[in-house]
């Protein structure tokens, strides 16, 4: 791997360290040139050039280190920053001490460490910077300045100018980085929102498909039985007209189920959440079961106040219908659908689907909601219905609990959060309904 590729693939904080050191080296070289050549102040150039060379070598070694596969750990990075502090302190010691505008670079190192190191290592590095800066006030090599007030003013002016330029570059650099980070975060949020929208759509489509498959299974089974009986007769049986009428009614049920699925499978409508009265939702599900499976006796119990409203989409009714179909398969002679408001929280709707079937084995009950579970015979069910129905209900803030009934059978308890519509909201909705009906 070449250096350019290694630099691009390195973590952002390591790339920043390499660039930050390069800028510091250029700033040190510029200050040394201005002081020695322009202001004609003699500096110990040999040790200073040696320190700048060591700093450049350290930056180059860091760049080469990025080519290795092993990650740079926290302690190694902490050691690298301590080396920065030591080199900076040596340069400042030879160039006037704490009065040198390069002393501001200590704050840059502290700021960088706060982003790249854990707090337990940031504080020791900050302490080393503070101690070095304080020590330079008392211990530093005195510069041999000529006794000229104009020179002192020029030196002060150059120091202020360089410090201002250094601060401006630093603020611009970190501002660009923060702006890039903010754009990356916005892009991540947008991508995550699109991903969540796709997952909601796919989950809703899966719930609709599973519910429609359950609704179609019974009419298709009836059609298969009736057609088989008609084929067994060489001539039309005496009740052929009743058989044809039954076939027609079952075909209409299939058409309605497929039309409902096609109408609700649009991208815009599938993720749409609406306010639905709880009584309306439960009554609709009960009516659908009676239409699809008229031979199954359904006991309906509604104990809900009219003002209770649910946040619902097309998948919620399908999910409840899924549990009702499972109950009808397990107990064809009796199924109960009961909807009440929670005693402790009247704004919570509790829907219970009960049957008198054989129940669910304990080893299967522990796996409900965690994978594909089916108590039906092979080929009669894949076990995806319960998993999809539970996911659809939980997506709307609800929960599902499946347990055994004391008198035998299974009880599916669905809890859904609800709310009350304000009087103004109810009046506005009624006005919209009256306008739409005109």
Task: Give, in degrees to the nearest 5, the angle at Cα 252 between 251 and 255.
Answer: 90
Q: Could you give the angle at which helices 119-138 and 74-94 cross, rounded to 10 degrees?
A: 10
- Give me the chain's average pLDDT, please: 78
> What is the structure's pLDDT at 90?
94
Indicate whether 379 pLDDT > 70. no
Reported as type and span, the H/E element at residue 110 is: helix 105-116
Q: Are 410 and 354 in contact (CB under 8 A)?
A: yes
Measured distance CA(349)–CA(398) in Å, rounded: 9
Q: What tokens appear for 5 in the block?
A: 């590729």
pLDDT score for 363: 63
Nearest Cα residue to 372 out of 362, 387, 352, 358: 387
pLDDT of residue 103: 85
**Structural domains of the chain sorted by starting position, each given as residue range(s) with its CATH number in brackets:** 3-144 (no CATH), 273-438 (3.30.565.10)
End-to-end CA distance of the chain: 73
pLDDT, average across residues 19-47? 81
pLDDT class for 435, splitting at 50, 70, 90?
Answer: very low
- Which string of DSSP letters, residue by residue, matches 47-85? HHHHHHHHHHHHHHHHHHHTTSSSPP-HHHHHHHHHHHH
Q: pLDDT per residue over 264-318, tens digit each? A: 555 445 556 788 999 999 999 998 888 778 888 999 999 988 889 998 877 788 8
Q: What confidence category does residue 348 fall into, taking pLDDT thresholds of 50, 70 and 90?
A: very high
pLDDT range class, residue 67, cuts 50, 70, 90:
confident
């Amino acid at each position: 791997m070449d250096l350019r590729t290694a630099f691009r693939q390195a973590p952002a904080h390591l790339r920043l360290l390499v660039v930050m050191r390069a800028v510091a080296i250029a700033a040190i070289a510029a200050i040394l040139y201005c002081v020695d050549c322009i202001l004609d102040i003699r500096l110990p150039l040999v040790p200073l050039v040696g320190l700048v060379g060591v700093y450049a070598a350290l930056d180059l070694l860091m760049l080469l280190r990025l080519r290795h596969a092993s990650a740079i750990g926290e302690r190694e990075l902490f050691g690298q920053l301590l080396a920065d502090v030591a080199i900076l302190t040596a340069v400042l010691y030879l160039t006037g001490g704490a009065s040198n505008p390069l002393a501001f670079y200590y704050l840059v190192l502290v700021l960088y460490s706060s982003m790249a190191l854990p707090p337990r290592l940031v504080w020791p590095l900050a302490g080393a910077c503070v101690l070095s800066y304080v020590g330079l006030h008392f211990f530093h090599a005195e510069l041999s300045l000529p006794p000229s007030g104009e020179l002192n003013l020029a030196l002060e002016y150059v120091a202020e100018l360089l410090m201002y330029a250094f601060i401006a570059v630093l603020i611009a650099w970190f501002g660009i980085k923060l702006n890039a980070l903010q754009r990356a975060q916005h892009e991540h949020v947008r991508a995550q929102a699109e991903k969540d929208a796709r997952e909601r759509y796919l989950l809703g489509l899966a719930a609709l498909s599973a519910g429609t498959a359950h609704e179609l299974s019974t009419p298709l089974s009836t059609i298969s039985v009736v057609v088989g009986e008609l084929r067994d007769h060489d001539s039309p049986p005496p009740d052929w007209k009743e058989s044809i009428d039954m076939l027609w009614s079952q075909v209409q049920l299939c058409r309605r189920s497929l039309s409902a699925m096609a109408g609700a499978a649009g991208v815009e409508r599938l993720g749409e959440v609406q306010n639905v009265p709880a009584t309306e939702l439960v009554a609709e599900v009960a009516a659908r079961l009676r239409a699809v499976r008229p031979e199954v006796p359904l006991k309906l119990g509604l104990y809900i106040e009219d003002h209770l409203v649910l946040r619902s989409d097309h998948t919620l009714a399908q999910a409840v219908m899924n549990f009702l179909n499972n109950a009808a398969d397990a107990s064809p002679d009796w199924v109960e659908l009961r909807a009440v408001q929670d005693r402790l929280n009247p704004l919570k709707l509790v829907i219970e689907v009960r049957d008198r079937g054989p129940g669910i084995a304990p080893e299967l009950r522990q796996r409900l909601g965690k994978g594909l579970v089916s108590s039906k015979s092979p080929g009669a069910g894949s076990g995806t219905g319960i998993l999809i129905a539970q996911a659809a209900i939980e997506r709307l803030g609800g929960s599902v609990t499946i347990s055994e009934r004391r008198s035998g059978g299974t009880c599916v308890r669905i809890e859904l959060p609800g709310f009350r519509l304000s009087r103004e909201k109810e009046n506005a909705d009624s006005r919209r309904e009256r306008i739409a009906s005109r």
